[in-house]
Amino acid sequence: MQVKDPALLRRMYRSLFRIRRVEEEISVVYPSDRIQSPIHLSIGQEAVSVGVCEALEPGDAVFGTYRSHGYYLAKGGDLKGMVAELYGKAMGVAKGKAGSMHLIDLPHGVMAASAVVATTIPQAVGFAYACRQQRRKAVVVSFFGDGAVEEGAFHESVNFAALKQLPVLFVCENNLYAILSAQKSRQALDNLPERVRAYGMPAERVEGNDLFRIYDWTREAAERIRAGQGGPAFLECRTYRWRDHVGPGEDFHLGYRTRDEAQPWMDGDQVARVAALLNPEDRQRIEREVEAEVREAFAFAEESPFPDHEELYTDVFKEAGGGALG
């Protein structure tokens, strides 16, 4: 492995450690019921979000799934607003109305997240089409899981993006399970990149949750797009979630997967991998700063007010003149 630029390593570690610590703290608070939203943790999968988002520019946009904390934070989403949103508080990024599964931070390029599988893939493609029509240099990333590739929306979107040569990167976070169903029980062939190439775009797979390979691929693909030398591309990132599909606990007792299967992924933890590449002083400083930020964010959420009842009637569509909801 080629050692990266020290400043890049520090940024990557801060982002990885920050996501990990935020989600660990969510796990602690969640059983108290003070968090008002279902949660889908990305503990173990942080390398995908960080590897991709570190290669992007501020004006780029990301669309994703209900497992949204990782890419939201990696792209620069507001931490205080995120935690307050999980608490259902008025100071949340969506005024407490969206919760964990629908995080959004437009100023930082964090677009729609959705609880419905594959729904943000065509939204990302539409946004990329708009960027091309407006001659913007933005790159659009669509994050989704392996279960989404079985939806028609995925195939329609990939086909259209290839046909129109749109500036969109499709990133499949393949954690090998769609809820509790293993990929091998749902797909006859383990060949996602091959299937996507048939639509007419480059497609690769990164094994082992490898942060640096994910970063290098994204940076090169984004540079090609910005230079007008290519359209869409697809990356399958093999990764693994350590916790429940939904919730803060472990689920090995359910029998659909085993701890023995998970252990190699835990042994290859990318947070620990990058930490080992830093000098101890840098690592300790970053960890102190992140711990202080996390404490401040949760204190902010605890102290923030709940929305007024009148907020039930704002930010909704209805006919002019007070007609029925559309």
Q: What is the band of 322 on the pLDDT scale with cuts at 50, 70, 90?
A: low
Out of 41-50, 108-117, 180-189, the most confident range is 41-50
Q: Where are the domains of the chain?
A: 6-313
Are the beta carbons of 73 and 48 closer than 8 angstroms?
no
**Quick check: 206 pLDDT over 80?**
yes
Q: What is the band of 316 on the pLDDT scale with cuts at 50, 70, 90?
A: confident
**Quick check: 315 pLDDT over 90?**
no
Q: What is the pLDDT of residues 11-33, one digit of tens each?
A: 999 999 999 999 999 999 999 99
The DSSP symbol for 325 reads B
Q: What is the band of 102 on the pLDDT scale with cuts at 50, 70, 90?
A: very high
Question: What per-residue confidence (pLDDT) applies to 275?
Answer: 98
Mean pLDDT over all residues of the chain?
Answer: 94
Measured CA to CA, the distance from residue 257 to residue 245 in angstroms comes to 12
Output the CA angle 49-52-57, nearest 5 degrees: 115
Q: What is the band of 324 on the pLDDT scale with cuts at 50, 70, 90?
A: very low
Residues pairing with 145 in the sheet: 173
Q: Tell if the pTM clears 0.75, that is, is over it.
A: yes
**Quick check: 198 pLDDT over 50?**
yes
Are the beta carbons of 178 and 147 closer than 8 angstroms?
yes
Q: What is the band of 4 on the pLDDT scale with cuts at 50, 70, 90?
A: confident
Q: What is the pLDDT of residues 221-235, one digit of tens each?
A: 999 999 988 889 999
Q: For the domain with range 6-313, which CATH number is right: 3.40.50.1370, 3.40.50.1820, 3.40.50.970, 3.40.50.150?
A: 3.40.50.970
Average pLDDT over residues 37-63: 97
242 class by beta-carbon count within 10 Å (0-12 exposed, 13-18 middle, 19+ buried):
middle
